Amino acid sequence: MSRPLRIGEFFRVSRKPGRIMVCTKREKFNYESDTAAAATLFTAVVAAAANSGWRPMEDLEPRTVPEEVIQVVLGFEDGFDYYVKFPAGTNIHGVNKQREWAYINAERSHQLHPNDDYEYWCIEKWYPSIIAVNNTPYADTPKVFAQGERYLFRDATVEEGTLVRAHKVPCRYILMGGVASEEGS
């Protein structure tokens, strides 16, 4: 995972242009798709050579009161190819351009050691949706794991914003949704 935000660190988010924010609190989290709290993601068994249909990971949506930013990396269980849209309903990893090319599986990001290359930053209404394609000769239930950090933040004061714009204090830039969401299509 890329470097976590530090408390007191200034940052900007690509989907909130003009806003300079300050991290005020952070906490680690772990998510597993078939736990009681998250049992809405994959509730049905997926037949061999079938898929689960697109499932929104609404459990990963950051709160709006108080406002939150989430840094998350996904890991997966064996037997499935997982296609991810981030945010739900949009392109990422080329999903709408060439589906067979744009998947993640347990070899690329295993549940026990998720690959940091598949890290996401989430703000409100920016949670991923996933479709799981069963590549095994038997029916199985997909399983997704997520781990990361939740951050609370506040807007920078006028004085703090002036210092950031004058490049007197560092300000981190966070790109939401990867390159595909920035290409204008």
Give 37-88 pLDDT, tens digit per residue: 555 677 778 888 888 888 888 888 888 888 899 998 888 887 888 888 777 6
Task: Say if residue 94's pLDDT is above 70.
Answer: no
**What is the reported pLDDT for 40?**
65
Q: Which two tokens stand for residue 175?
A: 């790109």
Spatial distance between the Cα atoms of 50 and 138, rounded to a whole number of angstroms:
10
Task: Say if residue 183's pLDDT is above 70.
Answer: no
**What is the reported pLDDT for 27?**
94
**What is the reported pLDDT for 178?**
55
Task: Say if residue 177's pLDDT is above 70.
Answer: no
Stated pTM of the model = 0.79
**What is the reported pLDDT for 184?**
45
Give the pLDDT mean for 77-102.
66
CA proximity to 150, closest of 70, 59, 36, 57 = 70
Between 89 and 33, the higher pLDDT residue: 33
Give the pLDDT mean for 21-49.
81
Spatial distance between the Cα atoms of 105 and 136, rounded to a whole number of angstroms:
13
**What is the reported pLDDT for 185?**
41
The per-residue pLDDT of the chain, averaged, comes to 81
Give the pLDDT mean for 157-180.
88
Contacts of 150 (CB under 8 A, 6+ apart): 26, 27, 28, 29, 62, 68, 69, 70
Task: Say if residue 180's pLDDT is above 70.
Answer: no
Domain boundaries, the chain: 10-178
